[in-house]
Amino acid sequence: MSDSSTNNLDGKVAIVTGAGRGLGREEAMQLASQGARVVINDINLPDAAKAANETVEEIKAAGGEAMVVFGDCADTNDANNLMKATLDAYGDLNIMVNNAGYCRDKTIFGMSDEEFDSVVRVHLRGHFVNMRNAASYWRGKAKAGEQVYARLISTSSEAAIFGSVGQPNYSAAKSGIVAMTMGTAQLLIRYGIPCNVIMPRAETDMTMQGPTAAMFAAPEEGFHAFDPSNVAPLVGYLCSPDAAHIAGEVFVVWGNQVNRLKRPEFGEAHVNPEGAKKWTLDGLHSSLASEFGEGYTPVLDGFSVPPQ
Ligand SMILES: NC(=O)c1ccc[n+]([C@@H]2O[C@H](COP(=O)([O-])OP(=O)(O)OC[C@H]3O[C@@H](n4cnc5c(N)ncnc54)[C@H](O)[C@@H]3O)[C@@H](O)[C@H]2O)c1
């Protein structure tokens, strides 16, 4: 097995959306440290643009290659421009890391249509348009008989599976990202292209504004489990040649932990004891009592139990 920390992505081309700050920045720097040429996408607003330029400078200072392409990750024209600028500058695309997004947190009681739509748009549509561009490009190459080295990484959240009371918009978008990536993974594996999802935890601008701030803050001393740089190695690994066989997986990742999510499974099948006919409500009540009778309590944990 090769050392996956250096040079195993030499000559490869990666796009990371939302790579000016937070997790995207760390992932871009990780891919660059492995030898990839990295296209830093972020929104062209003063703070984000400054951060994106700084990410590029930092990669270059470390001897890597990178450039900025500004644009809204969820805008079709901007996504098309991102793809075109990447191909114009670097001649190929090998790695698409969809990462960009923001939160507008409210409970279901107070969330406006605009708050719902904009968050679903930036995350879910933001993944969709760039995923479509990358997938179509790679399929085109494969159909033309060319060798394709490609990796697709999506960024979801544990909110997608456990829910999040203050984020009906965000958790819905993040669930959609898992479903969309799983379907795309099934399709792209035909071309030898692995697609995977990460669910990170990190101290970033996004999490330090919300209810997770205290949980993710740096400890006064010792290892900072929620430093966003701790998430980047998994992305680097999944994009590396050593991980070519890993596809359709969802990883929860932070600190020194990587957790592969188990696939959801069907539980006990309740079959109508009256035979092949439609259930009555009484029939359902008595059959389901084996699971939902006395002693049953709903599982409504807002967050996952950290693995040991
Ligand atoms: N930090 C965590 O604990 C955590 C947990 C689960 C999931 N995530 C996900 O990780 C990803 C990165 O989040 P982060 O924590 O680094 O947040 P962050 O706010 O630090 O970074 C997000 C980046 O996306 C950019 N961005 C926002 N809107 C954009 C747009 N329309 N087009 C292009 N870029 C845009 C921002 O400018 C910023 O640079 C997000 O998808 C987030 O939902 C983060």
Distance CA 12, CA 34 (A): 9
Q: How high is the pLDDT of residue 5?
A: 62
Q: How high is the pLDDT of residue 303?
A: 59
Give first-to-last CA distance, the chain, whole Å: 28
Kindly report which listed range (35-44, 94-103, 202-211, 297-306) carries the lowest average pLDDT score: 297-306
Domains of the chain: 13-260 (3.40.50.720)
The model's pLDDT over 152-211, given as tens digits with 9 standing for 90+, comes to 999 999 999 989 999 999 999 999 999 999 999 999 999 999 999 999 999 999 998 876
CA of 201 to the centre of ligand 1 (A): 11
DSSP 3-state assignment of 257? Answer: strand
The model's pLDDT over 41-99, given as tens digits with 9 standing for 90+, comes to 999 999 999 999 999 999 999 999 999 999 999 999 999 999 999 999 999 999 999 99
Given pLDDT bands bounded at 50, 70 and 90, which one contains residue 264? very high
Catalytic residue numbers, as ranges: 157, 170, 174
DSSP 3-state assignment of 269? Answer: coil
Q: Which residues contact 18 (CB under 8 A, 6 or more apart)?
A: 24, 41, 42, 43, 73, 99, 100, 101
User: Do 223 and 171 form a contact (C-beta atoms < 8 A)?
Assistant: no
Nearest CA to ligand 1 atom 23: 18
User: Do 127 and 145 form a contact (C-beta atoms < 8 A)?
Assistant: no
Work out the mean pLDDT of the chain and round it to a whole number: 94
With a Cβ cut-off of 6 Å, ligand 1 is lined by 17-18, 20-24, 41-43, 48, 51, 72-74, 99-102, 122-123, 155, 157, 199-202, 204-207
Q: How high is the pLDDT of residue 7?
A: 86
Given pLDDT bands bounded at 50, 70 and 90, which one contains residue 302? low
Mean pLDDT (whole number) for 110-121: 98
CA of 209 to the centre of ligand 1 (A): 12
User: Do 32 and 64 form a contact (C-beta atoms < 8 A)?
Assistant: yes
Nearest CA to ligand 1 atom 27: 101
Distance CA 86, CA 81 (A): 8
Distance CA 223, CA 168 (A): 32
Pocket test for ligand 1, best of 44, 78, 102, 125 (most atoms within 8 A of CB): 102
Q: Report whether pLDDT(2) > 60.
A: no
**Which atom in ligand 1 lies closest to the alpha carbon of residue 21?**
39
Angle between helix 46-61 and helix 22-33 axes, rounded to 10 deg: 20
Q: How high is the pLDDT of residue 300?
A: 82
Given pLDDT bands bounded at 50, 70 and 90, which one contains residue 229? very high
Q: How high is the pLDDT of residue 307?
A: 45
CA of 101 to the centre of ligand 1 (A): 4
Nearest CA to ligand 1 atom 36: 18
Decide: pTM greater than 0.85. Answer: yes
Distance CA 23, CA 252 (A): 14
